[in-house]
Structure 1
């Protein structure tokens, strides 16, 4: 059974800050957001977690393997380096969207995202040592079939982007509504999902739905481990197996085999 720890990263009072004392240059804001995301990705990634930019002023991280002290250190690091601060809410559940809802509730109860008095909130539940397990995190890595041949080498970049985004949006909604999974576009033609316990038929149904609804063909590799990094690497290897074998779904190695290979 999965047991995901999800962290909501929210920039404090960001909207008002962007227009105080006057509206700030858009590219300056884009630069700040991209650098902040890069620093978050480096910090969380160095501790075997994943972070996704979503709307940039709000970001979502899979933080199995990070404890409260790690989160507090992240806040301190960002506060020392940026003109803005971040609040963090964390939740735990076997269904990823339920974990994110719990994380979100912790921040919402502490005040609005645009409340000038709300600063560096750290709220929520963290997995205990006893709750750490090799089956906690399930990562699915989706890839568009022949995106280069179908889109990149045939269409202008904006039309290629539309096609890929339509596939992403369809998959994102389907997995969230049917399984409580959370999916994130990670560039190129790649989508990473953090999923609850699902079987091969569930992934095939998702792929079939996207092809029918959006006309985009996908394949997926799935990995399971105690941390996002290990699960994600196993998912990448499973995806390579899809490419090599011409299959649509590969579930990767069982968690106990992953542990042996990574010790």
Structure 2
């Protein structure tokens, strides 16, 4: 059974800040958002976690192994580097989607995201060391089969982007609705999904669903480990096996489907 610890990262009072004392230039806001994501990626990554940008003012991290003190240090680092602060809600559940729901509730219960008095909240529960196992996190790394040949080298860049985004959007919806998984576009033609304990048949079903709905062909490598980064690396190696063997689904334990 998986046991995924999820952290919701929410920038405090971000909307009002962007227009106070007057609207800020969009280029400056985009720069701040991208730099904040890059720093958070490193801060969580240095502790074996993953963070995904989603809407930038809200980011989602998989944080198995990070305790309350580690989260507080990340908040402190952001406050020291940026004109904004972040609040963090944390929860653990076999279902990543359920964990995110609980983490979200922690912040919503503390006040609105645009409440200037709700700052640097750190709420929720943390997975105790004694409860951790080597199978807590399941990561699936999807990519589009021959995206370069089908899209990048044949279509203009924007139309290629549309096709990749269509595949991502349909996969994201399906994995959320059918399997309580959280899927994130991570650049190029790659999507990383944080999943509960799913069978090879579930991944095959997801691939078939996306192909049937939007005519985008996917393959996936799946990894399981104690932390997000270890699971992610196993998934990446499994995906390489897909490419080498011409298979649709590969697990990090060497099984293929």
Per the normalisation by structure 1, the TM-score is 0.96
1:161 partnered with 2:136: no
Q: Distance in 1 between matches of 2:247 and 2:179?
A: 23
1:153-209 residue CA offsets vs partner (Å, 9 max, x unmatched): 001111000000000000000000001000000000000000000111000000000
> Could you say which residue in structure 2 is the equivalent of 1:241?
241
CA contact under 8 A between 2:5 and 2:93: conserved in structure 1?
Answer: yes
Consecutive aligned runs of 4 or more in structure 1 exceeding 6 Å deviation: none
SS state at 2:209 partner: helix
Measured in 2, the distance between the counterparts of 1:169 and 1:65 equals 30
Show the 5 A alignment for 1:204-219: 204-219=204-219
Structure-1 residue corresponding to 2:35: 35
Return the TM-score normalized by structure 2: 0.98
**How far 1:252 moved relative to its partner?**
1.2
Equivalent pair of 2:65/2:129 in contact (CA under 8 Å)? no
Deviation at residue 253 of structure 1 after TM alignment: 1.5
Deviations 1:205-256 (A, max 9, x none): 00000000010000000000000110000000000000010000001128xx
In structure 1, stretches of 5+ residues that fail to align are 255-263
CA distance in 1, matches of 2:51, 2:152: 27
1:65 is displaced (CA, Å) by: 1.1
Residue pair 2:8, 2:88 contacting (<8 A) in 1 also: yes
1:23 paired residue number: 23
Alpha-carbon RMSD across the aligned residues, in angstroms, is 0.6
Q: Mind listing any 5+ residue stretches in structure 2 that lack a counterpart?
A: none
Match of residue 91 from structure 1 = 91
Where does residue 50 of structure 2 map in the other structure? Answer: 50
Match runs of 1:103-252 below 5 Å: 103-252=103-252
Give aligned pairs, total: 254
Give 3-state SS (helix, strand or coil) of 2:178's partner: helix
Instruction: For 1:164 and 1:187, locate their aligned partners in 2 and report how far apart those are by CA, in whole Å.
Output: 10
